[in-house]
Structures are given as structure tokens and as C-alpha cells.
């Protein structure tokens, strides 16, 4: 079975879009699910949310953070990957809620897209709030413009939309309109504060947990998170949970437990291949 890179496009510095060959994933994938790839047989397993599917292919968007994601970004079209497994995890609970607000931060905008599309198709009024550090990191704007009844852009430096955080935009929206359901995907700190706003106003708030993950089947326990005081596994119980019930402090702490090892691996990789600033 082919796992070839069919197409590759640089969206912005350190942010790449890939179309991968897959016969089975497009047949079964639903919004909110993810896949796991391995570049080679000795490579790290990389969990990535499915952005879009078409016949015989699946789209992912990758941000270069550690060795494996930099290595992936440096591969050429036509390269055969060792493994592409999916779809994994549970899909988003799509129904007509009324007015939903979807919030994407940085590369989290990409996995938010299929859920936002499905919510729009289900008859919801969709307000999209997208945020990034700068305008060049705001991605998929045409797609969100098409599906959204209202699109709000926020950037840290004010280079696009309004200057500020997505939480600023959410607070303003909730002062003016009733929102029945929230979705938020982005950095854990962003999702934590969106969830706090949702808790204050008693609004269900679905977040996609990008935890450390190894096998993707619940066997290793690496992706565990505390939800409602119980241990849940993001790969099989999630990846989406109501953010009001997530122990965010513990989750964020776990995300950085291998930071030193990851930094050392990236440093060795850069020594092997040279400067990575061009990626």
C-alpha cells in the first residue's frame, strides 16, 4: 500500500501542507479524527489531525517543532513514507446546535477546518475566530471565509484583523450574542483560557488534546489526561473533550516532560544536516 507524498506546499515559515496517498483513510475519516505517520521504520510516530480528504489522498498540515517534523518538511514530493495509519480517535459530535463559535490558534486552525465545515453543513450559524502571531501564520482564510457566517481575525502584532488574543474576541462576542457551543483547537494555554471563559458562562467547549502519543491505540498510556477527575486517553477516548473538565495544569506540565531530550535531538539533527532557518 502506497504512503507516498503526492504534493507539498510551504504555507509560511516552518508550516507545510502535504497531500499523502491513502486508499483507506478517505473512505472512513470523519471530522476531528487523526492519523499517525512514520517517516522511516526507525522513526518517531507523529500524530496529525486530518485536515481534508479526497479520493485516494489525505491532507495534513505540519508545523516544524522537533526533529521529526523538520525531517518531514524536508522530504520531497514522491517520497514514500514508512507508515500512515488512520483514521484514529473519535470524531466530532456534529449536529445543529444553533450558534457555534469555532476558535483556532496558530497551526490549530488546520485541524479545526473539517469540524467547522461539518458544523456549517449541519445548519449551524458559525462564528470563526482565528488567531496567530502574525498575518503570515494565519492559514486557510479562504476556506473559513466560505463556511463562516462571521469571521474574526486576531494577531499578536496587529498585522491582520485586530491586535490581541482570540480570548479577547471571544469575550466581546459573548457580550453581544448567545453562543450554544464552542470548539477550540490551538496551543494548550489558549485552550485552557477559552475553556475557563466557557466554564464561567456554562457553555460546552470542545477541545482537541494534542498530547504526547506513541502507539495511538491506548496501550502505551503516553497520551493520558485527567478529565473530570479520571484518567482518559486522548487517542481512544478523545482527542476531543469538554475543556471545562480538563486538568489543564497537569496536561501542560506533561507536554514539557521530554523538552530537554527533544531539544537535544533537534540540535544533533541540525549538526547533521546544517542550518534549518530556511525550512
Does residue 63 sit in the same domain as residue 122? no
Q: What is the pLDDT of residues 151-193, one digit of tens each?
A: 999 999 999 999 999 999 999 999 999 999 999 999 999 999 9
Tell me whether residue 250 is in a domain. Answer: yes
Residue 232 sits in a domain whose CATH number is 3.40.50.80
User: Stretch 92-105: mean pLDDT, rounded?
Assistant: 97
Q: In the prediction, which pLDDT does 271 show? A: 86
Does residue 125 sit in the same domain as residue 37? no
Residue 222: pLDDT above 70? no
Q: In the prediction, which pLDDT does 133 show? A: 94
Residue 9 sits in a domain whose CATH number is 2.40.30.10
Q: In the prediction, which pLDDT does 1 show? A: 67
Q: What is the pLDDT of residues 107-116, one digit of tens each?
A: 999 999 999 9
First to last CA, the chain: 29
> CA–CA distance from 234 to each of 50, 90, 97, 200 (Å)?
15, 9, 24, 25
Does residue 78 sit in the same domain as residue 157? no
- Of the candidates 170, 166, 182, the residue with the CA atom closest to the CA atom of residue 119: 182
Q: In the prediction, which pLDDT does 220 show? A: 66
Residue 216: pLDDT above 70? no
Does residue 153 sit in the same domain as residue 246? yes
Q: In the prediction, which pLDDT does 221 show? A: 63
Q: What is the pLDDT of residues 247-270, one digit of tens each?
A: 888 888 887 777 888 889 888 988
Tell me whether residue 79 is in a domain. Answer: yes
Q: In the prediction, which pLDDT does 263 show? A: 86
Grid cell of 118 as nine digits: 461539518
How many folded domains does the chain comprise?
2
Q: What domain range is 60 assigned to?
A: 5-88
Tell me whether residue 119 is in a domain. Answer: yes
Q: What is the pLDDT of residues 117-158, one digit of tens each?
A: 999 999 999 999 999 999 999 999 999 999 999 999 999 999
Model confidence at 214, pLDDT cuts 50, 70, 90, reads low
Average pLDDT, the chain: 91
Q: What is the pLDDT of residues 8-56, one digit of tens each?
A: 999 999 999 999 999 999 999 999 999 999 999 888 888 898 999 999 9
Residue 217: pLDDT above 60? no
Residue 211: pLDDT above 70? no
Q: In the prediction, which pLDDT does 169 show? A: 97
Does residue 124 sit in the same domain as residue 68? no
- Of the candidates 33, 194, 190, the residue with the CA atom closest to the CA atom of residue 101: 194
Tell me whether residue 277 is in a domain. Answer: no
Does residue 144 sit in the same domain as residue 209? yes
Tell me whether residue 93 is in a domain. Answer: no
Least confident of 7-21, 24-38, 75-89, 222-236: 222-236
Q: In the prediction, which pLDDT does 210 show? A: 76
Q: How far apart are CA 103 and CA 112, in angstroms?
A: 8
Tell me whether residue 274 is in a domain. Answer: no
Q: At residue 175, what are phi and psi to the nearest 5 degrees?
A: -70, -25
Residue 224: pLDDT above 70? yes
Q: In the prediction, which pLDDT does 163 show? A: 96
Q: What is the DSSP letter of 253?
A: H
Tell me whether residue 266 is in a domain. Answer: no
**Burial of residue 56, with CB atoms counted within 10 A of its CB: 0-12 exposed, 13-18 middle, 19 or more buried:** middle
Does residue 26 sit in the same domain as residue 135? no
Q: How far apart are CA 93 and CA 181, in angstroms?
A: 11
Q: How far apart are CA 266 and CA 185, in angstroms?
A: 26
Does residue 197 sit in the same domain as residue 223? yes
Beta strands in 55-98 (DSSP E): 57-63, 83-88
* 8 Å CB contact between 133 and 106: yes
Tell me whether residue 260 is in a domain. Answer: no
Does residue 106 sit in the same domain as residue 230? yes
Does residue 125 sit in the same domain as residue 203? yes
Does residue 113 sit in the same domain as residue 169? yes
Strands 57-63, 83-88: pairing kind: unpaired
CA atoms within 13 A on the CB side of 38: 13
Strand ranges of the sheet holding 162-163, from the earlier edge strand across to the other edge: 162-163, 150-155, 125-132, 99-105, 181-185, 205-208, 240-242
Amino acid at each position: 500500500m502506497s504512503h507516498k507524498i503526492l504534493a507539498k506546499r510551504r504555507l509560511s515559515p516552518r508550516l507545510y501542507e502535504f497531500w499523502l496517498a491513502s486508499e483507506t483513510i478517505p473512505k472512513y475519516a470523519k471530522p476531528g479524527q487523526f492519523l499517525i505517520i512514520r517517516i522511516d521504520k526507525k522513526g518517531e510516530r507523529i500524530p496529525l489531525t486530518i485536515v481534508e480528504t479526497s479520493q485516494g489522498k489525505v491532507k495534513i498540515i505540519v508545523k516544524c517543532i522537533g526533529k521529526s517534523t523538520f525531517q518531514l518538511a524536508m522530504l520531497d514530493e514522491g517520497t514514500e513514507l514508512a507508515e500512515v495509519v488512520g483514521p484514529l480517535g473519535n470524531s466530532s459530535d456534529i449536529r445543529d446546535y444553533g450558534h457555534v463559535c469555532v476558535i483556532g490558534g496558530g497551526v490549530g486552525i488546520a485541524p479545526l477546518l473539517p469540524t467547522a465545515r461539518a458544523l456549517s453543513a449541519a445548519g449551524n450559524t458559525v462564528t470563526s475566530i482565528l488567531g496567530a502571531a502574525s498575518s503570515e501564520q494565519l492559514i486557510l482564510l479562504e476556506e473559513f471565509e466560505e463556511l463562516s457566517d462571521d469571521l474574526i481575525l486576531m494577531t499578536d502584532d496587529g498585522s491582520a484583523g485586530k491586535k490581541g488574543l482570540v480570548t479577547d474576541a471571544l469575550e466581546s462576542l459573548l457580550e453581544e450574542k448567545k453562543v450554544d457551543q464552542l470548539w477550540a483547537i490551538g496551543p494548550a494555554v489558549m485552550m485552557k483560557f477559552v475553556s475557563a471563559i466557557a466554564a464561567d458562562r456554562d457553555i460546552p467547549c470542545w477541545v482537541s488534546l494534542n498530547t504526547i502519543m506513541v502507539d495511538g491505540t491506548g496501550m502505551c498510556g503516553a497520551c493520558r489526561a485527567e478529565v473530570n477527575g479520571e484518567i482518559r486517553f486522548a487517542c481512544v477516548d478523545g482527542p476531543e473533550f469538554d475543556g471545562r473538565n480538563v486538568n489543564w495544569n497537569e496536561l501542560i506540565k506533561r507536554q514539557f516532560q521530554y523538552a530537554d531530550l527533544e531539544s537535544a535531538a533537534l540540535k544533533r539533527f541540525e549538526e547533521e544536516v546544517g542550518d534549518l532557518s530556511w525550512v
